[in-house]
Amino acid sequence: MRTTLCWQLSNAVAIAMSSKLHLPMDQLSELLRPLLSGTVALSTEGPPRWSTFGAPQPNIVVDVTTEADVAKVVKYCSKNNIPFLAQNGGVGWAAFNLSNGVLINIAPLNEVAFSEDKTQAIVGGGASVKQTIDAAHAAGVLVVTGNCNCVGTIGAVLGGGYGNLIGEYGFGVDNVLSFNLVTARGELLNVSPTSHPDLFWAVRGAGPNFGIVTSAVMKAHPTSDRTAWNMALIFTPDKIKQVVQAVEDLRPQLLPAQNVFMYLTNSGPPDNQPVILVTGFLLQTTEEEARAAFSGVYAVGPLSENSGILPYDQWNTGGDAFCTREMRKPGHTIGISKLHPDQWQEIWDLYAEFRSKPGAENSVMIVEIYNLEKPRSIPESSSAFAHRDVNAQALVIPWYADPALDEEAMAFAKKVRGITGANEEKTTAYVNFAHGDEGLEAVYGESLPRLKDIKRQWDPKGRFNQWFPIK
């Protein structure tokens, strides 16, 4: 039996490696199945992704149900030179280098539990932001996550982790106490400041290059008041420069847990008109205080408003439409130090022109601004996450169905990115928003040389090279 299995294995792998054809799914599945728990499902199609642009093209999908299964799949694939990639929330928008291999769907590892004193959250590597927030709300704590329900909690944290609570508690990476990590050799390690500290540093900022996090212990912040002001103001396009000025004026005055985002977006059905949307967030406040904190933006004169104090488990509801899966969404980004109102009529015109193309009306441009005082009080050298000095993230996301628009979409996104970043001394791109054409220095900043050293040690064969690979 053993001989037969080994023969099948080497035969399957030989076929896979010697040809550009797909891996022999039935044989490989047969070989993997006995290694894994009975609850593991093997299939040929993964869960739908947020963007179909540059999406991974696996021919085997393994829905893992235990961290031991993750280790076994990685060990097997590494040993046999079979490419593989972990997927959690499936919202990563940069192109993935996986056209023939195994997708390890870690979404079933979605348990979120808390220590008895509620100061620590144990977050499964597959938990979504919604699952994490729902569990945290029920436990009476706050946990730093991204702001959209569909995002993988750990996926966002591994790149840095922006979110509504960073002004109060620091970035996602600052809130991690330890990880369970499957390395390129298929070992399951506990990684913390005292156990493999080099990996602990690298994974917090460049995680997908070093392993698969099966769970993380994160700080939990017990509090009885888990409410926040969530503001949404719509402005007509003729107010573009005034809105930009108001948002820029607010930027240096943001209160600790206050943020402001500006969107060029779609008003939604039935009109589907291009509009400016300004959203705002302020933790643990009153309506009166919140309106005062955003008074400069209100003064521009919104066309309509939908705002209120919401409980923790509803903070992200307004962004659920942004989570809509499928369609092509080749996002681009650039870090900026400030907004320049003079640039924005041109940006608006380019945006309005692109979104008028068939099926492209949901295209969006976003500027995200947080109070960064608390995150900047934590030394940049404490993790591989670079660019704490960047004041705001500008994102442009062409959103359409027809691949025939790819070229125009790319030209539009690059042009807008270029205008927005025209006054910046250095190009920076937050890895979780980056496109992939920025260069590694722009993405990993001054962490790059040390990351390269750690990569050589822990992943010398580049098993985890599918997304912003460090080479």
Residues that bind ligand FAD in the complex, under the rule CB under 6 A: 50, 85-93, 106, 125, 146-148, 150-152, 154-156, 158-163, 207-208, 212-213, 322-323, 432, 466-467
Query: Looking at the DSSP assignment, which residues form a beta bridge with residue 179?
Result: 191, 216
How is residue 285 written in tokens? 């406040």
The answer to whether 251 and 369 have CB atoms below 8 angstroms apart is: yes
Q: Using CB atoms within 10 Å of the CB of residue 403, give its burial: 0 to 12 exposed, 13 to 18 middle, 19+ buried.
A: exposed
- Tell me whether residue 302 or residue 398 sits nearer to ligand FAD (CB atom): 398
With contact defined as beta carbons under 8 Å apart, do 403 and 345 qualify? no
> What does the DSSP 8-state code read for residue 77?
H
C-beta of 101 vs 207, nearer to ligand FAD = 207
- In the complex, the smallest distance separating the C-beta of residue 300 from ligand FAD, rounded to whole angstroms, is 25
Cβ neighbours of residue 439 under 8 Å, at least 6 residues apart?
Answer: 427
Q: Which of 192, 193, 194 is nearest to 215 (CA)?
A: 192
In whole angstroms, the minimum distance from the beta carbon of 323 to ligand FAD comes to 5
Q: Which is nearer to ligand FAD, 90 or 101 (CB)?
A: 90
- Judged by CB, which is closer to ligand FAD: 92, or 274? 92
If the CB atoms of residues 9 and 60 are measured against ligand FAD, the closer one turns out to be: 60
The residue (of 61 and 91) whose beta carbon lies closer to ligand FAD is 91
Choice between 159 and 302, CB closer to ligand FAD: 159
Query: CA neighbours within 13 Å on the CB side: how many for 287?
Result: 5
CB of 312 to ligand FAD, least distance (A): 15
Closest CB to ligand FAD among residues 317, 423: 317
Smallest gap from residue 341 Cβ to ligand FAD (A): 25
Minimum CB separation from ligand FAD for residue 295, in Å? 26
Task: Tell whether the torsion through CA atoms of 317, 433, 419 and 339 is positive or negative.
Answer: positive
Q: Where are the alpha helices (DSSP H) in 151-257?
A: 153-159, 166-169, 197-206, 240-250
Cβ–Cβ < 8 Å for 399, 362: yes
Supply the minimum distance, in Å, between the C-beta of residue 96 and ligand FAD.
Answer: 7
User: Alpha-carbon distance 83 to 462, whole Å?
Assistant: 10
Q: What share of the chain is helix, strand, coil (3-state, %, to 5)?
A: 40, 20, 40
- Nearest distance in Å: CB 73, ligand FAD: 13
Task: For 337-446, list the strands marked E by DSSP.
Answer: 364-370, 392-397
Query: Least Å distance between CB 247 and ligand FAD?
Result: 18
Q: Strands, DSSP E only, in 30-184? A: 41-43, 60-63, 84-87, 102-105, 112-114, 120-124, 141-142, 176-182
Q: How far is the CB of 155 from ligand FAD (least distance, A)?
A: 2
In the complex with ligand FAD, the residue whose CB is nearer, 36 or 94, is 94
Query: Cα–Cα distance between 43 and 61 in angstroms, integer?
Result: 5
List of E strands, 337-449: 364-370, 392-397
